[in-house]
């Protein structure tokens, strides 16, 4: 099977997977969520400009390295991809953090966001009462544009796919656990779990780099989400007059057994920047200050 065909089928599966998660049951507030909701108002008088001073998010340092990505860099031998040192948010952005952001930047609220940057699902059902109950859950139903804007508001950006995949390759004790069948099985277990039984509560055992919830919680936007599968073999299909792709060598899928990672590639590749879904959130990254 051609890689593109495989990916199209994966994309369909990913979409289907999204659609089966139509119902998210109201969930009881966790202790942490309640604590946070109780503490936030108490903290406000302490801060002179409470809405403009979010609590600094925790970032973990990720050392430079090289690894074999599921996406080739264009050469046939799938040479390792170099990743420069960067830092990554330890946890996905939460509901409380994103609501705070929309208070400071109302142009990114559901009521005001321009249609070119967000679809009809954007921040669906999100209001202050949700924030009190579910403030420590990962924010979802956010568009790529909104995620970019949030990260810029804390002097950060979205991670690139390579950066995300690099950190996502780790388990608790190894930088690259991808060849461990147990690691793969654990991640794949998430996909078979009905969404009604899942909660998006942020926080889990940190991986090798100190990052949490890289798997098993949400899908995550990356900076180059729409460029993952610009593939040369598409040129071999369809109308030869349509020279859609430029650039020799191109991207092809490597490590096709790594289903859990390929699902992410497939999902991200099927989206446009204004799309938002119930299971798609984000975290931010920073390059070292020069």
Partner 1 sequence: MQSSFSRLPLGLCLASCLLLSTQAMAQTSVASPAPTTALASDSVYQVNATLTDQNGRAFKLRKHLGKAVLASMFYTSCKFVCPMLIDTMALTRQGLTPEERAQIDMLLISFDPQRDDVKKLKSVALSREVDSSPWTLARTDVSSSRKIAATLGIQYRLLSDGEFNHTTVLVLLDRDGRVVGRTQKMGAADPAFIKLVKQTLGTKASGS
Q: Does 259 bind partner 1 (CB under 8 A)?
A: yes
Q: Which stretch binds partner 1 (CB under 8 A): 115-123, 163-171, 172-180, 203-211?
A: 115-123
Rounded-to-integer distance, Cα 235 and Cα 242, Å: 8
- For partner 1, the closer of residues 9 and 44 by Cβ is 9
Distance CA 260, CA 282 (A): 17
Q: Which two tokens stand for residue 1?
A: 């099977």
Binding to partner 1 by residue 256, rule CB under 8 A?
A: yes
Rounded to a whole number of angstroms, the minimum distance from the CB of residue 101 to partner 1 is: 17
What does the angle CA 169 – CA 175 – CA 176 come to, to the nearest 5 degrees?
50
Interface characters, 180-219, with partner 1 (x: CB under 8 A): ----------------------------------------
Q: Does 241 contact partner 1 by CB under 8 A?
A: yes
HSE (CB half, 13 Å, CA atoms) of 194? 6
**How far apart (Å, rounded) are the C-alpha atoms in residues 95 and 136?**
6
For the chain, what's the residue count? 290
Q: Does 68 bind partner 1 (CB under 8 A)?
A: no
Q: Three-state secondary structure along 166-182?
A: HHHCCCCCCCCCCCCHH
236 binds partner 1 (CB under 8 A): no
Nearer to partner 1 among residue 50 and residue 154 (C-beta): 154
Residue pair 159/223 in contact by the 8 Å Cβ criterion: yes
Q: Which of 4, 13, 34, 57 binds partner 1 (CB under 8 A)?
A: 13
Q: Which of residues 33-62 bind partner 1 (CB under 8 A)?
A: none
Kind and range of the H or E element at 67? strand 65-67
Q: Please, which residues have CB within 8 angstroms of residue 83's CB and are 6 or more apart in sequence?
A: 62, 64, 65, 66, 67, 162, 163, 166
Of 23, 31, 42, 111, which one interacts with partner 1 (CB under 8 A)?
Answer: 111
Q: Which of 120, 128, 205, 289 binds partner 1 (CB under 8 A)?
A: 120
Q: Is 244 in the site for partner 1 (CB under 8 A)?
A: yes
Q: Which of 262, 189, 248 is nearest to 11 (CA)?
A: 262
Using CB under 8 A as the binding rule, whether residue 65 contacts partner 1 is answered as: no
Alpha-carbon radius of gyration of the chain: 19
Of 51-59, 60-68, 90-98, 268-276, the segment contacting partner 1 by CB under 8 A is 268-276
Q: Binding to partner 1 (CB under 8 A): which residues in 154-173?
A: 157
- Name which position in 23, 56, 116, 182 contacts partner 1 (CB under 8 A): 116
Indicate the angle between helix axes 259-269 and 161-168, nearest 10 degrees: 160
Nearer to partner 1, 137 or 276 (CB): 276
Q: Are strands 59-62 and 86-89 parallel, antiparallel or unpaired?
A: antiparallel
Residues within the interface to partner 1 (CB under 8 A)? 1, 6, 9, 12-13, 15-16, 19, 73-75, 79, 81, 107, 111-117, 119-120, 144-145, 148, 152, 157, 223-224, 226-228, 230-232, 241-251, 256-257, 259, 272-275
């Amino acid at each position: 099977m051609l890689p593109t065909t495989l990916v199209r089928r994966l994309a369909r599966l990913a979409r289907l997977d999204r659609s089966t998660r139509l119902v998210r049951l109201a969930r009881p507030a966790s202790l942490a969520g309640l604590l946070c909701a109780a503490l936030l108002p108490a903290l406000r008088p302490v801060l002179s400009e409470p809405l403009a001073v979010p609590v600094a998010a925790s970032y973990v340092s990720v050392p430079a390295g090289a690894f074999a990505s599921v996406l080739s860099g264009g050469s046939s031998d799938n040479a390792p991809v170099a990743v420069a040192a960067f830092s990554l948010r330890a946890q996905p952005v939460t509901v409380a953090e994103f609501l705070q952001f929309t208070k400071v930047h109302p142009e990114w609220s559901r009521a005001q966001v321009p249609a070119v940057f967000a679809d009809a699902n954007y921040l669906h059902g999100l209001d202050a009462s949700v924030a009190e109950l579910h403030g420590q859950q990962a924010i979802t139903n956010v568009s790529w544009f909104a995620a970019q804007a949030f990260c810029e508001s804390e002097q950060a950006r979205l991670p690139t796919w390579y950066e995300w995949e690099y950190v996502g390759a780790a388990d608790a004790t190894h930088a690259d656990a991808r060849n461990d069948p147990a690691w793969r099985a654990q991640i794949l277990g998430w996909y078979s779990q009905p969404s009604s039984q899942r909660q998006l509560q942020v926080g889990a055992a940190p991986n090798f780099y100190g990052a949490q919830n890289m798997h098993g919680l949400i899908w995550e936007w990356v900076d180059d989400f729409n460029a993952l599968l610009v593939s040369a073999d598409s040129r071999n299909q369809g109308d030869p007059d349509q020279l859609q792709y430029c650039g020799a060598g191109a991207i092809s899928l490597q490590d096709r057994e790594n289903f859990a990672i390929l699902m992410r590639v497939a999902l991200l590749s099927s989206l446009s920047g204004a799309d938002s879904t119930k299971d798609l959130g984000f975290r931010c990254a920073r390059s070292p200050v020069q």
